[in-house]
Amino acid sequence: MTTTDDRWFHQRGGLSREGWESIVDGAIDGWQHTGLRVAALAAGDVLALGETGVERIIVPLSGSFTVTHGAASGTAASERPASERTETALAGRPSVFSGPTDVLYLSADETAELRGEGRVAVAESPTTELHPTRLIAASETPVELRGAGASSRQVHNFGTPAALDAARLIVCEVITPAANWSSYPPHKHDELVPGHESRLEEIYYFETAPVAGAPSVAQNATDAAFGLFSTYSSPAGQIDINRMVQTGDIALVPFGYHGPAVAAPGYDLYYLNVMAGPGPERVWLISDDPAHAWVRETWNDQHVDPRLPYGPDPTQTPEERGRH
């Protein structure tokens, strides 16, 4: 199998439809196990998640949101009695670089409507297996500082197997400080080797921003913020992605070694990872590229980047942290 970045890399808005800035789903040829929706909402906007048979995690990127949700029972969400629906508030955050956020896992038998102001992502995976809907508060989110030195990054593991009971979805978000590398060493998870490697599709959704304290000329040109991302071939298939990434861009990884994701000097890099696959276990097991696996050993003699962890200002109230 051979493919190019034209099929698996999409700039912001390139997958827009149905009121969403981007939709990744089975409409993309060869894509089966994962999905993603991204939208910017203004006051009064409503977006529906009207299909069942899909488990979801709703992730505020910036701003705050209210989710009205409940079991569909074959009836559209807007037609269900209000008494049979639940309203869940997601306090959100000013930006993806402000630390963890509340997220909501929705069972595959529930539909929902989203309201609020800001940017929101919805990670998805088709399934008929039902797991309970659950709010994961920002304070409950496991925060991991992974790597060391220039490979230091911060991971929010709200949707990983250790943190969340789900059918197939494995979801986390990664913050890479300016000039650092993440998704490194390059690794793959495109074949099932029990106990050693999982077979998982993966979506990378990116955001970028000037570092905190950058001069006003940088803050006034946030659209220029960028990082770099690569994916290359493995025995499972031929793929070649080497792209500048900016806020709203999406890379799809059906197979192949992926990484690094590099934050340019002066600009922090964020990505949301959405994974799922056909294997019998919900587990993330990877194989490093043997040519680069030795790099992990060098971290033993390095410290975690002192800029980490990124998080909310402790002097802010929860309401202030939810503003964008």
Query: What's residue 76's pLDDT?
Result: 44
Among the residues of 1-88, which ranges form H helices? 5-8
CA angle 127, 133, 137 (to 5 degrees): 125
Supply the pLDDT for residue 7: 86
Global pTM? Answer: 0.93
Q: What is the pLDDT of residue 278?
A: 95
Strands ordered across the beta sheet of 9-10? 9-10, 250-253, 201-210, 267-276, 170-176, 153-159, 143-146
pLDDT at position 318? 39
Q: If residue 59 lies in a helix (H) or strand (E), which one and from where to where?
A: strand 54-71
Instruction: Report residues of the chain scoring pLDDT below 50.
Output: 1-2, 75-80, 313-324
* Whole-angstrom distance, CA of residue 30 vs CA of residue 27: 9
Nearest-CA neighbor of 274 among 195, 160, 105, 153?
Answer: 160
CATH domain 5-299 topology:
Jelly Rolls (2.60.120)
Angle at the Cα of 25 (from 20 to 26), degrees rounded to 5?
Answer: 145
State the Cα–Cα distance between residues 222 and 214, nearest whole angstrom: 11
Which residues on adjacent β-strands are paired with residue 39?
Answer: 120
pLDDT value of position 141 = 97
